[in-house]
Structure 1
Amino acid sequence: MERREFIAAALGAGALATSLGTEATAQAGAGSAAPAGGLGSGAQDRAYMLDLLRRMAEPVLGPMSKGQLQARFKPELSPTWDGRPVKVAYLECFGRLIAGLAPWLALPDTGDAESRLRATLRTQALASYAHSVDPASGDYLFGGIAEQQLVDSAYFTNALIRAPKALWEPLDARTKARIVKEIKGLRSVSPPYTNWLLFAAMNEAFLLSIGEEWDPVRIDLAVRKVLEWYVGDGWYADGPHFHFDYYGSYVIHPMMIEILEVLVATNAHFNSLKAKELLEQAKKRMQRYGTSLERMVAPDGSYPPIGRSLTYRTAVFQPIGLLAWRQWLPEALPAGQARAATVAAQRAVFSHPTNFDEQGYLTIGFAGHQPTLADWYSNAGSMYLASLSLLALGLPASDPYWTVPPQPWTSKRAFAGEHFAKDYYVEY
């Protein structure tokens, strides 16, 4: 399908999007209000998460599918903004959002209200990808601001790895060629020895996954350094020094896993490192990290506001969502418990109405609009990393993750005086 057909389809779908979103939310949303006791059924939890997805996605993908996002969205900047071009906000916004939506967009269409909403947003996402790499478009996202582009291009390509049949294969040949050109062009950026190494590696993994020429050195370096930075019990340092923050959630665990998955799936020659063994090790480490995240969720759904980039909100729970989507939840973290803890944390954060502005865009903050929490690189587009807590929506509503009864999460049991599992250090 040619780019112009995507845009035409998106234009035709635009008027439909609001009604579909309303219908999907209403159909599911009879149970989306916070249930008594904080434990909702799978249907209630899915309805709540679906409504979050819709609220994040529609104000971005609707305009961008027409090349109008940059004209409409004027992102709030950190009070300590470092002066980089504001245009960085738009690749952050789209790339981060689409990485969180990709698993759900990849579900098959079934004709119900949720499916019709998905079909609309998928069409808009494809049109948005076309605009993102078209230099003639008002929503061209690349060119001239390469350093930050490396970061968010990795989420942009991560989405294509997560949903190749939904987001990559339907793109027209010109758009595909433009994406490849832009991603290869970012090899000019030399990433610092931090989690940024994984951004370069993710782009190379994407190129490998589609049969393009790829640079094994960038993947090899990232994997080797992350292995060196493992500090134990499921935690990684971000570079030579340990940071007590959530970058293991935002970047390190998920990207390490998904890069290794591509190496295994393609049977790529990877120097002396054994990708299958490393993937199994990384999986166990993320399982351990996920159980620790679950224990951080307090009885009321709050969790520790620690470390930099706190305004990414519920992106903290990306590893639990990825474990659920991959059906890798460990015995210590059963589905009903993982789901209940994740949704409780989402409710605790998004119960504040000022998380979204008057136009429906995410604001800078943690639990509401709190601009003083912004880092020097933060803008409202950055906030869309929060969509990464929605990965479990990539499981259909019929999956046991959504049909098993809810279980109280660890802290909820502990502070109710109930039995709960003890916790021990693990070695992986």
Structure 2
Amino acid sequence: MTAVEDRRLSPYTGWTRGHWTALADRLLAAAGRYRSPAGARIDLPGPASRNGRVSDGLEGFARTFLLAGFRVAGEGGADPGGLLEQYARGLAAGTDPASPEAWPRPDELGQSKVEAASIALVLQLTRPWLWDRLDDRVRDRVVAWLATVVGQPYPPINWVWFRIVVESFLREAGGPWSAADVEEDLAVHASLRRPGGWLSDGDERAYDHYTGWALHLYPLLWTHLFDVTGSLCPGSLRHQWAADLRDYLDDAMRLVGSDGSPLLQGRSLVYRFAAAAPFWVGALTGTSHLSPGLTRRVAGGMVRHFAGAAEQDGLLTLGWQHAWPAMRQAYSGPGSPYWAAKGMLGLALPANHPVWTDVEEPLPIETGDVARVVAAPGWLVSGRRRDGIALVVNHGTDHACPGDQRADSPLYARIGYSTATFPLASVPDNTVVVLDADGRASHRAGFSTCYATELPGGVLAAASQGRVRWVDTAGDDSPDHGSGRGGPVVPGPLLTVASVVRRGVEVRLARLDSAEGAVRSLRLSGWPVAGDTPPATRSGAEVSATAETPGLRSTLRNLRGFTIADVTVEAGTSPLGEWAAVPSLATEGAPAPGTVLAAVVILDRGGPDDPDPALTVAADGRGGHHVTLTWPDGVTAEAALPAPE
């Protein structure tokens, strides 16, 4: 970086717009080294996706085209590096059926439907400087290639916006389009709306970053960039979307750690700082209630958090802070990480915009502790200023529907996610599981959410309940799109789990409600910590377990019913460090049905231990329980473990 930090203008990140433009230029220059001879593909190094190298090359073109478009638009069309000229060459070759670099059409390959939307979006954004200057023959070929989306089937998830964007561009370019397609897709979007401005990416409980970087991004960009007023998009619909975005951003800014990390939860995490996109779309379209300084703080924190990921050669790889291929999913190719460009949408705003000239303002976690219930995903959001770690305790998200019989997806169905930990596939962290006679851990996906609420004194509480199962997933080689894998199922007992959270510390409660299956014991696991050296571990007679890396500590302490403490250490299972460790507590033998177990679950950065609350348990007469927690400072909270339904 050649830009000099400005701690007066940006007291939290030090970054100015010059840092953003320097990073964008570096990313584009590095990717440009892999441009194909005719410019239609950017063939980046790395393992191919399931769609193949040609599709991956189109993906590299389209996603870096996003960044180039934002960069030029923010300069009012000034393009001294000739970015648009390079992409114009690629448009000409990629849409020419006779070219050796011809792109697969959207009616031939599903992934082309995704990339077509990025191309159409940038063509609209940069219209005076690119589209209007293209040769008529090239324009005709681009229209013909894009027009193959019309009438095509799209899955009823965030993908519907890809067709809306492409057909809206076609409409304004004089090409074919279908009002029926747009109407159908808008109906799908409406079906995905949930309380509090959240959207689920499909009919399952699929809450993740797609809510922000897709389902909030495209609707308002659509109304901002395209002439869709009137029958296509009544004003009331735009107002609704704007209100949804405002509500969502009020939650989303509390899901960012003070170090700028977004929540490590959900699929497609290789897109990294794309999580900043909804903050920028609010600023770009004038629909956000966040101040310009806070917008830059949250977006800049995320982008700066990952700046080092491209430091060695300027390329964004499949990984997190560095290359970690295990994070890729079946649809991930070498060009996939460049959807991170969405998080640099702010570059489309000129240098004199208040988001670049106002002083940065602190994140909520930098001014005090965070405690919030987010109803749609069933999350208790918590964070402490002293740690700067944002975390969620999850009783509503599993990328499944109630009653689903598949295995848990580590990225969705765990009880806890944070900005400092990564869910492990090999060791079930942040779970309450039933172990069968062979020591196999049960799965909880398909559970029912009982409640998620805020109690007096800033205490949060939530509970979920469902019949667990053991699933043999060995024969399931289906593409990984977020859901858990399926296979032969052995039914297990009904399990109720509740969480009570105060000042960032969870008390986790569990109760077996039946005795089906050969149950060896019940095990509760804590937060996974990772580092470059083996974590320090402690477990002992007090029935507590701790795993600690430099700057991060995971602790479990028994409050009721657990008799065994342990820490599992593994290598090569986390993108956050070579070594990872997970503490756990377990029962000696199967607990009797109806027995309430409890443990304190802590993730922090070290320091003095928080005092544990006293706990009393009372049956409510209907097969349920009321648990009263009393902290040493006198705060009391009562939570329910509901009776089985």
Name the residue aligned to 2:193: 230
2: CA distance, partners of 1:108 / 1:90: 27
Q: What does 1:308-387 align with in structure 2 at a 5 Å threshold?
A: 308-330=267-289, 333-352=290-309, 355=310, 358=313, 360-387=314-341
8 Å CA contact 1:69–1:139 kept in 2: the answer is yes
Map of 2:354 onto structure 1: 400
**TM-aligned CA distance change 1:321 to 1:100, over 3 Å:** farther
Q: Whose strand fraction is larger, Structure 1's or Structure 2's?
A: 2
**Contact 2:223–2:229 (CA<8 Å) still a contact in 1?**
no
Q: Separation in 2 of the partners of 1:39 and 1:267?
A: 39
Give the distance between the partners of 1:69 and 1:125, measured in 2 at CA: 8
Could you tell me which residue of structure 2 aligns to residue 50 of structure 1?
21
Q: Deviations over 1:54-84 (max 9, x none)?
A: 12212344664852575x7344126xx53x3
Residue 285 of structure 1 aligns to a residue whose secondary structure is helix
Q: Do 1:60 and 1:69's aligned partners in 2 also have CA atoms closer than 8 Å?
A: no
Which amino acid in 2 is paired with 1:39?
T
Equivalent runs, 1:1-400 vs 2, <5 Å: 26=2, 29-31=3-5, 38-40=12-14, 44-61=15-32, 64=35, 66-67=37-38, 70=41, 73-77=43-47, 81-82=49-50, 84-108=51-75, 115=78, 117=80, 119-143=81-105, 145-187=108-150, 189-261=152-224, 265-267=227-229, 269-270=231-232, 275-330=234-289, 333-352=290-309, 355=310, 358=313, 360-400=314-354
Kindly tell me: are residues 357 and 199 of structure 1, through their superposed partners in 2, closer, same or farther at Cα, counting changes over 3 Å? Answer: farther
Work out whether residues 259 and 305 of structure 2, in 8 Å CA contact, stay in contact via their aligned partners in 1.
Answer: yes
1:95 CA drift (Å)? 1.4
Taking a change above 3 Å as real, the CA distance of residues 408 and 318 of structure 1, as seen in their structure-2 partners, is same
Greater RCO structure (CA 8 Å; 6+ sep):
1
Give 3-state SS (helix, strand or coil) of 2:150's partner.
Answer: helix
TM-score by length of 1: 0.78
Residues 24 and 71 in structure 2, CA contact (< 8 A), matched pair in contact too: no
Which amino acid in 1 is paired with 2:251?
Answer: S
Contact 1:238 / 1:247 at 8 angstroms: preserved in 2? Answer: yes
Q: 1:34 Cα shift?
A: 13
Give the deviation of 1:85 after TM superposition: 2.2
**In 1, Cα distance between the equivalents of 2:303 and 2:74?**
22
Q: Deviations over 1:166-217 (max 9, x none)?
A: 2321211111101110011233642122222221222111111223231011
The 10-residue stretch of structure 1 (30-39 or 54-63) with the greater mean CA deviation from structure 2: 30-39
**Structure 1's 65 and 288: CA in aligned 2 closer, same or farther, altered over 3 A?**
farther
Q: How far did residue 382 of structure 1 move? A: 0.9
* Kept in 2: contact 1:105–1:163 (CA 8 A): yes
Aligned-partner SS, 1:288: helix
Give me the whole-angstrom Cα distance separating, in 2, the residues matched to 1:375 and 1:140.
26
Q: Does the residue aligned with 2:194 lie in a helix, a strand or coil? A: strand
The CA distance in 1 between the partners of 2:96 and 2:297, in whole Å, is 42
Deviations 1:211-254 (A, max 9, x none): 32310111111111111110111111112122121112232112
The separation in 1 between residues aligned to 2:311 and 2:182, in whole angstroms, is: 37
Question: Which runs of 5 or more structure 1 residues have no equivalent in the other structure?
Answer: 1-24, 418-424
Secondary structure of 2:133 counterpart: coil
Cα distance between partner residues in 1 of 2:75 and 2:261 = 34
- Structure 2: where are the runs of 5+ without partners? 369-383, 387-452, 454-645
1:115-157 Cα distance to aligned partner (Å, 9 max, x none):
554x522322323322322334454323484211111111111
2:121 & 2:201 partners in 1: Cα distance? 20
CA distance in 1, matches of 2:165, 2:291: 30
CA distance in 2 between counterparts of 1:308 and 1:388 reads 16
Shift in alpha-carbon separation, 1:97–1:290, aligned structure 2, 3 A: farther
RMSD after superposition? 2.9
Deviates more, 1:209-218 or 1:170-179: 209-218
Contact 1:77 1:380 in 2 (8 A): yes
Give the number of the structure whose residues are more often helix, by fraction.
1
Q: Secondary structure of the equivalent of 1:380?
A: coil
The structure that has the greater radius of gyration is: 2
Alpha-carbon separation, structure 1, partners of 2:346 and 2:53: 32
